[in-house]
């Protein structure tokens, strides 16, 4: 359960069902990168079935090269590129509908349903899987890899360079770092091997859970309350009700938020390692000056 939730939040709450299935079936072996070198012509019809590869592919693909993105790419709760994604055909990561699109390359996540991926490979379609980004280094590596896979290394290099410049402009090297607590559904808090942790650090905060020696994952609410952070960052609610999200409204956590600054981050801003995480960095950095 613990590992499940850790990975689940790292990728996206919205893809958790598919993810649980992937984990339960022990899938998720990363395929070797297919580099589109001189002898390999770049793919002409690319279909992406994972929220994070959707966004990287939209940022890097050439005109007409990307055919379809997943339905999560048009979900404003999960995706930072809803408007862009509407220009593409939407798929639901089902082998049959993907096959009908006649792709020569499918982009998937490491935890995408292994049965779907097996089936596509047996049908003779190239599938490249990307691991979820657990930090800015993974983000850079995945941009570079996506550029190689799509045959657009120059665009990838330009995107990476722009990311570095924007990050450098935003990065705060404060001598004193106030404590920020990530509090999500199921009392999940981000550990040091997470994109959220690096976003906090880049924005000049310290991760309260990591500073107290807690591992990422679900943490007992008592322990979270004892951290007395200066900032509480929570995720936005999904529609419908869940007991997992009820902890966000618990009086103890509400009291903690009243005493500190608070921020609600949309999952869309930090769930995937794309340059869009800089929006989250900018918003969290801006909270240093905000009145209590």
Partner 1 sequence: MSGLRATTPRWLAPGLGALIAALFVASLLVGPAGLGLTETARALLLGQGEAAVLVMREIRLPRALLAVLVGAALGMAGAAMQGYLRNPLAEPGLIGVSGAAALGAVVSLQTGLAAAHALALPGAALAGALGAVALILALAGPRGGSLTLILAGIAVSALAGALTALVLNLSPNPFAATEIVFWTMGSLADRSFTHVWLAAPLIGLGCALMLSLGRGLDALTLGEDAAAALGVEMTRLRLGLILGVALAVGAATAVAGAIGFVGLVVPHLLRRIVGARPAPLLWASAMGGAVLVLAADIAVRLILPQSDLKLGVVMALIGAPIFLHLIYRMRGEMR
Which residues of this protein are in contact with partner 1, per CB under 8 A? 1-2, 13-17, 20, 185-187, 218-223, 225-228, 238-247, 250-252, 255-256, 259
Calpha distance 256→243 (Å, rounded): 20
SS3 at position 207: strand
Calpha distance 136→159 (Å, rounded): 14
**Nearer residue to partner 1 within complex by CB, 64 or 239:** 239
**Nearer residue to partner 1 within complex by CB, 1 or 87:** 1
**Nearer residue to partner 1 within complex by CB, 150 or 247:** 247
- What are the φ/ψ torsions at residue 70 (nearest 5 degrees)? -75, 165
What is the smallest separation between the CB atom of 14 and partner 1, expressed in angstroms? 5
What is the smallest separation between the CB atom of 218 and partner 1, expressed in angstroms? 7
Calpha distance 270→79 (Å, rounded): 9
**Nearer residue to partner 1 within complex by CB, 8 or 110:** 8
SS3 at position 282: helix
- Contact assessment for residue 103 and residue 109, using Cβ atoms and an 8 Å cutoff: no
- Contact assessment for residue 244 and residue 185, using Cβ atoms and an 8 Å cutoff: yes
Give the residue among 17, 77, 11, 80 at the shortest CA–CA distance from 238: 77
**Nearer residue to partner 1 within complex by CB, 163 or 188:** 188
């Amino acid at each position: 359960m613990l590992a499940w939730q850790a990975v689940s939040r790292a990728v996206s709450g919205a893809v958790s069902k598919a993810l649980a299935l992937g984990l339960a079936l022990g899938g998720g072996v990363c395929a070797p990168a297919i580099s589109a070198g001189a002898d390999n012509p770049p793919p002409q019809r690319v279909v992406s079935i994972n929220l994070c590869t959707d966004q990287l592919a939209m940022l890097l693909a050439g005109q007409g090269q990307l055919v379809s993105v997943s339905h999560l790419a048009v979900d404003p709760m999960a995706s930072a590129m809803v408007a862009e994604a509407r220009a593409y055909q939407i798929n639901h990561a089902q082998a049959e509908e993907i096959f009908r699109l006649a792709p020569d390359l499918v982009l998937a996540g490491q935890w995408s349903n292994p049965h779907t991926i097996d089936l596509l490979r047996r049908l003779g379609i190239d599938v490249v899987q990307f691991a979820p980004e657990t930090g800015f280094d993974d983000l850079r590596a995945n941009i570079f890899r996506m550029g190689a896979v799509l045959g657009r290394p120059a665009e990838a290099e330009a995107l990476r360079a722009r990311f570095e410049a924007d990050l450098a402009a935003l990065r705060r090297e404060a001598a004193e770092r106030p404590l920020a607590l990530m509090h999500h559904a199921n009392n999940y808090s981000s550990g040091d091997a997470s994109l959220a942790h690096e976003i906090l650090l880049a924005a000049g905060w310290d991760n309260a859970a990591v500073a107290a020696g807690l591992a990422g994952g679900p943490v007992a609410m008592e322990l979270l309350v004892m951290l007395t952070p200066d900032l509480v960052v929570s995720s936005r609610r999904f529609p419908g009700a869940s007991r997992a999200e009820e902890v966000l409204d618990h009086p103890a956590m509400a009291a903690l938020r009243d005493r500190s600054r608070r921020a609600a981050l949309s999952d869309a801003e930090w769930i995937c390692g794309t340059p869009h995480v800089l929006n989250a960095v900018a918003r969290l950095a801006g909270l240093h000056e905000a009145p209590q």
